[in-house]
Amino acid sequence: MKKYIVYLLVLYSVVLSQEKNLRHSVQNFSFFKDKIFYDFYIGKSGTDSTVFFYLYYQIPNTFLKYKLDSRNSLYKNSFEIGIVLYKKDKFYRDWYFEKELKEKDFYKTISKNYFYIDLCSLEVVLDTYKVKFQIRDLNSQNSFEKEFVINLQKYNLSKRLIGTFLFDLKVKDGGKAAFIPNVARLYNENQQQLYVEYDLFNIKPGNISVNYNIYKFEDTTLLYNKKKDFIVSDTENLHIIDSIIIKKIEAGRYKLEIEAFDINGKSSCFKVFTIQGAYLGIKLSYNEHVRLLSLIATSEELYKLKQAQGDKEKQEEAIEEFWRKRDPDPETLENSEREEFYRRVKYANEHFASGRYRYGWESDMGKIYIIYGEPDYIERHDYNVNGMPYQIWIYNRLNKRFIFVDRTGFGDYELYNGFIR
């Protein structure tokens, strides 16, 4: 296992030194650029009573404060990583590491488009621990702390077939492929596939089958299955990086399960990941996007969005800020209000576009649907022989009703005697 970790560390240092790869990676998590993420990977050690605990972390540059070193014109930052383990609520062990970062470009030190990824490697005894993970910026004293419980007893690798695994993003630059850790475990609907890394230990000679299953997080609905077969001639350990197609899976939270079968039976492990909505499924100019958001924006919010026009970086930050303030639960990865808004936009584009409207959200029906959601009841008079076709949308819960009239006869329904900003 150690040789693989050395390989990964060298590979990460190459990827993190390339601006294009960093920007590509962060753009997949456009609404989470200012958050710190962490994830872990369990690896085989030299004994059956211990494992290697690899804790990965991702820190946005906006969390860190850089100071200019005038002697060499470099911007520098120092931060401290702390990992404290408790057994049965009693202190067990701790590790502290200090890291130094250097950057030539000041813009990168303050931009949300750049982040730092690294890992801590610890050899620990198989047991159940409460882990306290800490990050402290030594320049600004900004701090981050999270606690979680991990049961390492289930990773008795002398008895288990399969180890844990880590999600990776594949990045291409100049025709060359590389992997970086997807520490946040976030993807979006535009991505074609994700990459998974795992280990099979103490494989006996013969056939081995591996299943990849993706389920909805809330229930056991199976959305994806892929099977791989291996033929092993000698007892050995296998380290595998493989791809899984996710292009047909819509936004939401999911569980990926890996099952391995050999003559010893079945072993399995899983990882939870999130697919963000690609939202519109279309490309809009910034002005068009602002016009779309104006359906729900306050006058103050609309003013701030318009002030960002002309500056791509400010435009991106303005939209992020718009949704950040509307996040009903900022502690979670999901923003249910944003997801619901773009779900309605997608629905409007699919159902209310016509010859008159390029996008369904531009139509009167689309705008009402986006603002108020699905009607409680619709009275349809699409074949009115005595007059123009019309529909009445009734919202009992809101005590509202809207009448739409098709004046042209081509399905272009307009709001009758109404006004939508």
Report pLDDT digits (tens) over 230-287. Answer: 887 776 677 888 889 888 887 778 999 998 888 777 888 888 888 876 555 566 788 8
417: left (phi over 0), alpha (psi -120 to 50) or beta: left
What does the alpha-carbon distance between residue 271 and residue 163 come to, in Å, rounded to a whole number?
12
What does the alpha-carbon distance between residue 117 and residue 102 come to, in Å, rounded to a whole number?
14
Report, as an integer, the average pLDDT of 184-197: 81
Does the pLDDT value for residue 307 go beyond 50?
A: yes
How does residue 396 score in pLDDT terms, banded at 50, 70 and 90? very high
Report, as an integer, the average pLDDT of 101-121: 84
Taking the model in full, what pTM does it have? Answer: 0.65
Question: If DSSP codes are grouped into helix, strand and coil, which group holds residue 374?
Answer: coil
How does residue 212 score in pLDDT terms, banded at 50, 70 and 90? very high
> Cβ–Cβ contacts within 10 Å for residue 349, how many?
20
Report, as an integer, the average pLDDT of 190-202: 80
Report pLDDT digits (tens) over 27-36: 333 445 557 8
Q: Per this entry, what is the length of the chain?
A: 421
* pLDDT for position 11: 29
Does the pLDDT value for residue 16 go beyond 80?
A: no
Architecture of domain 2-201+235-245: Sandwich (2.60)
* pLDDT for position 418: 64
DSSP string covering 227-288 = EEEEEESSSEEEEEEEEEE-TT--SEEEEEEEEEEETTEEEEEEEEEEEE--TTSS---HHH
Pairing of strands 186-188, 265-276: parallel
Report pLDDT digits (tens) over 37-64: 899 888 888 787 888 888 999 998 888 9
DSSP string covering 397-413 = GGTEEEEEEESSSSS-E
Report, as an integer, the average pLDDT of 193-222: 84
Higher pLDDT, 357 or 317: 317
Q: Report percent pLDDT > 90 for the chain.
A: 32
Does the pLDDT value for residue 149 go beyond 70?
A: yes
Does the pLDDT value for residue 204 go beyond 60?
A: yes
* Strand ranges inside 88-205, DSSP E: 90-103, 115-125, 128-137, 143-151, 162-173, 176-181, 186-188, 193-203
What does the alpha-carbon distance between residue 256 and residue 244 come to, in Å, rounded to a whole number?
10
Higher pLDDT, 186 or 357: 186
Does the pLDDT value for residue 7 go beyond 50?
A: no
Which of 64-78, 304-318, 380-394 has maximum average pLDDT?
A: 64-78
* pLDDT for position 20: 30
Domain ranges of the chain: 2-201+235-245, 350-421
* pLDDT for position 24: 30
What does the alpha-carbon distance between residue 289 and residue 124 come to, in Å, rounded to a whole number?
51
From the number of C-beta atoms within 10 Å of its C-beta (0-12, 13-18, 19+), residue 285 rates as exposed
Q: CB-based contacts of 178: which residues, under 8 Å, 6+ apart?
A: 11, 14, 15, 21, 170, 171, 172
End-to-end CA distance of the chain: 61
For residues 232 and 206, the answer to whether their CB atoms sit within 8 Å is: yes
Which single residue is written with the structure tokens 């004046």?
Answer: 407
